[in-house]
Amino acid sequence: MGDLYAILGLEHLTYEAGEGDIKSAYKRLALMCHPDKLGEKITESDKEIWLKIQNAYETLIDKDKRKRYDSSLPFNDSIPQEQDVIDIPEAAFYEMFEPVFKRNALFARKKPVPNMGDGATPMEQVLRFYKYWDNFESWRDFSQFDEYDPREAADRYERRYMEKENKKQRDKHIKKERARIIKMVELAYKYDPRIKRQREQEEQEKLRKKQEIRDRKEKERKDQEEKDRAVEEAKQREIDAKLEEEKRAREEKGREVTRRKEAIRNLSAVCEEKAPGTRYDKYFIEEFAKKFKTTEDIDKIAQRLREAPEGEDFIKEIEIVIDSTKSATEQQKAQQRKEEESKKQEEQKKGDWNQEELSKLAKAIVKYPGAIHNRWKVITDFIGTDKTQKQVIAKAQELAQRQSLAKAASNAATTVQSSTYQAKMKKQTGGAGQAPEAPVQAEAPAKVVKAKATPEAPKEAAAVEAKPATTGTGNPDWNPEQQKQLEGGMREFPASIPVKERWIKISEKVEGKTPKECYERFKEIVELLKKSQAAAK
């Protein structure tokens, strides 16, 4: 076939010859070598030359034919070896690899191909260059290594076999070509001075960041140690100050005890001096002095008695002092009781629940079931008043217990009425036949929210709650109003209160009844319930 580029006069361009160059060269040769231009002077040699020109033009103007032809031309597949690249100067590296990449760029499917650049090329372009070659796509054709010509096949089966064998040969060379390109790119990337500098910079940056982290942690550790030391020193100072304060308090207390003993001895000496042989001896004075909080009060009494005359007048004076001391003590106790009562009433007032709060409590318990985290805190926030979490829990337990006890009392009352009705019917019918069942309907307890209840005296509460289900009190000494007051008092003052104190408080809520009468009434109701339950069984 010969060199087709040389036939068209394009040997100086070869691979770089464009479609326009090929057409121009063909037109120029056609004017010179076309048989019509030569006329009668044409020879066989001229005809052969023209056929070669036509073949060269038809091959190079067709893209697929030209690729196959260009791929069949001799090509330098050599690439640098690693031992030749190690420790070479930077300039020599570019001189070695740039022609290799430029030569292999001939087969690039994607154009333009980025240049390799030099030491001054920005790092972005360098990375873009290697990324291009990592994904390099070649159009190089290896059909010149085909073993068979499918056009010579006798039938389609033979042609398919030929094509399959040819494809195996081409794939083998394509794989080999791809491995050669990868090796070339990896070798260049490994020893590229620009990549080395970037790696060193990245490593230095990584080390710098690690050092910064270590320095920061060290600083944080030292700061924390300083804080801990300051806290420990503050704690130690606080402990030392507290110990010093306790020491001073003990010393002051010791001095106060000494002064008090001295004051008592002085007061005792005055009494023994001015009223010898009377009951106002040192034992009486020691007991009497316990009523005074301060030593100064004892000194004042001693000074007052020291100035009093002897004999009967002294006895009168000391009696006056004793009486005034008793009066002051009683007033102090009365004031203390008054303050405690006021405080208790204030706390009770704060614990009162209005209808809106009870409604919100009921809604919250239904809305926030037991599986919710911090359930009672959420319910307390939902109510949104001044009620504490402890008060909310206590109220929920109270309501749940009241529901349970009211239900038990209602059932007990229903049993009593049913038994009474059946006994009455049996008596009227003379025992003949079975008495019809009494149509008793006990009032259903009010619906309250469910909550975990504490088992506080269920029997007595059930006994008291059972009474409203009956038509009367069952005792002529107790009217319905007193019965209602008794029930309210027992609900207000639960069994957790000491027994004596509890029944005193309950009796204060019941008009005209003593604690003993209230307690006896409670026992009467309990006994009645027991009998009713036994009769029902």
Residue at 382 is within a domain? no
Structure tokens at 9: 């006069």
In a domain, 314, yes or no: yes
Task: For residues 514 and 424, state if they share a domain.
Answer: yes
Asked whether residue 433 carries a pLDDT value surpassing 90, the answer given is: no
**CATH number of the domain enclosing 43:** 1.10.287.110
pLDDT at position 347 is 63
CA distances from 230 to 7, 216, 289 (A): 96, 21, 49
Query: Which residue, 54, 72, 90, sits at the end of a domain?
Result: 72
| 106 and 64 share one domain | no
User: Residue 525 sits in a domain of what CATH number?
Assistant: 1.10.10.60
Residue 178 pLDDT grade (very low, low, confident, very high; cuts 50, 70, 90): very high
pLDDT at 121: 94
Residues 180 and 254 placed together within one structural domain of the fold: no
Give a yes or no: residue 493 inside a domain.
yes
Q: What is the mean pLDDT of residues 419-445?
A: 43
Distance CA 61, CA 23 (A): 8
Distance linking the first and last C-alpha atoms of the chain: 126
Average pLDDT, the chain: 81
In the chain, the percentage of residues whose pLDDT exceeds 90 is 34
Same domain, 64 and 97: no
If asked whether residues 180 and 297 sit together in one domain, one would say no
Same domain, 246 and 346: yes
484 vs 272, higher pLDDT: 484
Contact call for residues 171 and 184 (beta carbons, < 8 A): no
Q: pLDDT band for 329, please (50, 70, 90 cuts).
A: low
Residues 410, 502, single domain; the answer is yes
State which of 13-27, 115-129, 261-275, 393-407 shows the largest mean pLDDT.
Answer: 115-129
Tens digit of each residue's pLDDT (9 = 90 or more) over 361-375: 888 888 888 767 788
Task: Please check the confidence at residue 101 and state whether its pLDDT lies above 70.
Answer: yes
Q: Decide which of 191, 212, 247 is a domain's last residue.
A: 191
pLDDT at 236: 94
pLDDT in tens, 299-322: 888 888 878 777 777 777 778 888
Q: Mean pLDDT across the stretch 6-30?
A: 88
In a domain, 366, yes or no: no
Assess whether 180 and 255 both reside in one domain: no
Q: In this structure, is residue 431 part of a structural domain?
A: yes
**Residue 258's CB: how many other CB atoms inside 10 A?**
11
Q: Do residue 146 and residue 41 come from a single domain?
A: no
Cβ(456)–Cβ(495) under 8 Å? yes
Q: What local confidence, expressed as pLDDT, does residue 366 receive?
A: 84
- Regarding whether 501 and 481 lie in a shared domain, the answer is yes
pLDDT tens-digit map of 29-66: 988 888 888 877 788 888 888 899 989 899 889 988 88
- Residue 343: is its pLDDT beyond 50? yes
pLDDT band at 450; cut points 50, 70, 90 = very low
Residues 399 and 339 reside in one and the same domain = no
pLDDT of residue 409: 52
**Per-residue pLDDT, 37:** 80
Give residue 372's pLDDT.
73
Angle (nearest 5°) at CA 96 between 93 and 100: 130
Q: Which of 72, 100, 123 is the last residue of a domain?
A: 72
Measured CA to CA, the distance from residue 479 to residue 473 in angstroms comes to 6
User: Does residue 259 belong to any structural domain of this protein?
Assistant: yes
Ramachandran bin of 411, using left for φ above 0, alpha for ψ from -120 to 50, beta for the remaining angles:
alpha
What would the pLDDT profile of 379-419 be if each residue is shown by its tens digit? 988 888 778 888 889 888 888 877 655 555 555 455 445 44
Q: Is residue 253 part of a domain?
A: yes
In the chain, the number of structural domains is 4
**CB neighbour list of residue 360: distance below 8 Å, 6 or more residues apart:** 382, 383, 384
Measured distance CA(273)–CA(82) in Å, rounded: 125
Q: Are residues 409 and 513 in the same domain?
A: yes
Report yes or no on 158 lying in a domain: yes
pLDDT of residue 227: 94
The strand ranges marked E within 419-478 are: none
| Residue 446: predicted pLDDT | 37
Q: What residue numbers bound the domain in which 252 lies?
A: 235-350
